[in-house]
Structures are given as C-alpha cells and as structure tokens.
Amino acid sequence: MTEPPPFYDDLAGCLDETWRRLEEGAAHQSGFHTPALATIGRDGAPRLRTVVLRGVDRTLRTLRVHCDARSGKAAEIAADPRAALHAYDPKAKLQVRIEGTARLHGQDAVARAAWAASRPMSRVCYATSPGPGTPLAEGGATIQPRDDEAVEAGFPEFRVIVLTAARLEFLYLARQGHRRALFTWDGEAEAATWLAP
C-alpha cells in the first residue's frame, strides 16, 4: 500500500494542500481548473454551472471567476450573494466544497485588471449579441464582434465574481481510510475540525 501523503493526518496541512491545488487550478495545472459554481436562483432553487477558476488568493480566502453581466449567474449573485464552488481532482483524489459570499465587479479596478490579463479569445464572448441565455431561432443566430475594437466594446458586460470562503470542506479519498475536514471562518477567526467521512 502506498504511503499516505504528508497532509493525511495534519489538519493545517489539509487546508494548505487544498489552497495549493486551487492555486494550481487557476494556473491550469490541476483538476481544479474548471470547478462548478452554485448560486441561488430567483425562485429559490439551486443553479449550477462549470466555470474557469481564474485566480485564488489564500490570504484573502478569495476565488475569482469571470462572467457576463447579462448571464443568469450575475443576476442571481446580484440578488443573493450566497454562492458555493465545488471541484474534484480525480488524480489527487481530492474534493473541495467552498461556501461563501460572492461579489460582482464591473467597470472598476478589479474588472479592469482582470480584463487586461485576459486573452483576446476570452474577451470575444462579452461583445456577442444577444446576451447569454437569450432564446434563438437557430443555434448560430448570434452576432460576433468582427474586429479588436468591437471586442473591446464588450468590456461593459464583463464581470468578475469574487467569492470569499466562509466554509471550506476537504475530502481526500485513500485506501487506508478517507480524510474529511471542515474549515470555517467567522471574520478572521478560523476553526478547523475533522469530520467522519
């Protein structure tokens, strides 16, 4: 049987490992690159979709995702900022579940910095019309921006979602026995406990 990893029986190590994998995910290097983001629908039902994890700041406990102002998720977060993020990395055998409060940034310093760092092919979506989720008569009935100027005109629709974690649950699958841990933050005060898997 393979040796358990160093974080196996170390609560602080489990949290470190989770942030490390999330940071790698934001840099395209782990299975945490495309997590699922959950919001609360205007009807109170859960809404779930895949997103690209664009940035992680473990000191601030924030995760950054980009979206269109015209999207369902943007409207849902504006109405109720409670949100959750889930990812499972099968190679690492690690699941993370994060719950917290999401904040939308548009046309501010956070949005400008994220826009400047994003690739032209990512910017194209925000200049497409009609907006995401609009019913179409045909699958391809959308208008795409034709030049750089038109792509840049999409910036007003660009939103950055910054999710601040209030609760982070770690689950590591192992033959020797799974490890599950819960980390919560009340303001800056951190609490940590093992949970029965």
Ligand X SMILES: Cc1cc2nc3c(=O)[nH]c(=O)nc-3n(C[C@H](O)[C@H](O)[C@H](O)COP(=O)(O)O)c2cc1C
Residues forming contacts to ligand X in the complex (CB under 6 A) are 34, 47, 49-52, 65-67, 71-73, 132-133
* Own/partner long-range contacts of 174-178 (Cβ < 8 Å, ≥24 apart): 174/4, 174/8, 174/93, 175/1, 175/2, 176/1, 176/4, 176/8
According to DSSP, residue 197 is labeled: -
**Rounded Cα–Cα distance for residues 162 and 66 (Å):** 9
**Rounded Cα–Cα distance for residues 24 and 30 (Å):** 5
> Which residue number, 103 or 180, has a Cβ lying nearer to ligand X?
103
Q: Kindly state the smallest distance separating residue 40's Cβ from ligand X, in Å.
A: 12
Q: Kindly state the smallest distance separating residue 82's Cβ from ligand X, in Å.
A: 15
Structure tokens at 184: 């919560």
Letter for the amino acid at 146?
A: R
**21 closest CA partner among 67, 101, 85, 84:** 85
CB closest to ligand X, residue no: 72
> Which residue number, 122 or 184, has a Cβ lying nearer to ligand X?
122
> Which residue number, 102 or 181, has a Cβ lying nearer to ligand X?
102
> Which residue number, 133 or 197, has a Cβ lying nearer to ligand X?
133
Contacts of residue 144, defined as CB under 8 A and 6 or more positions apart, other chains included, come to: 124, 127, 128
Q: Kindly state the smallest distance separating residue 28's Cβ from ligand X, in Å.
A: 12
> Which residue number, 65 or 84, has a Cβ lying nearer to ligand X?
65
Q: Kindly state the smallest distance separating residue 100's Cβ from ligand X, in Å.
A: 18
Q: Kindly state the smallest distance separating residue 38's Cβ from ligand X, in Å.
A: 10
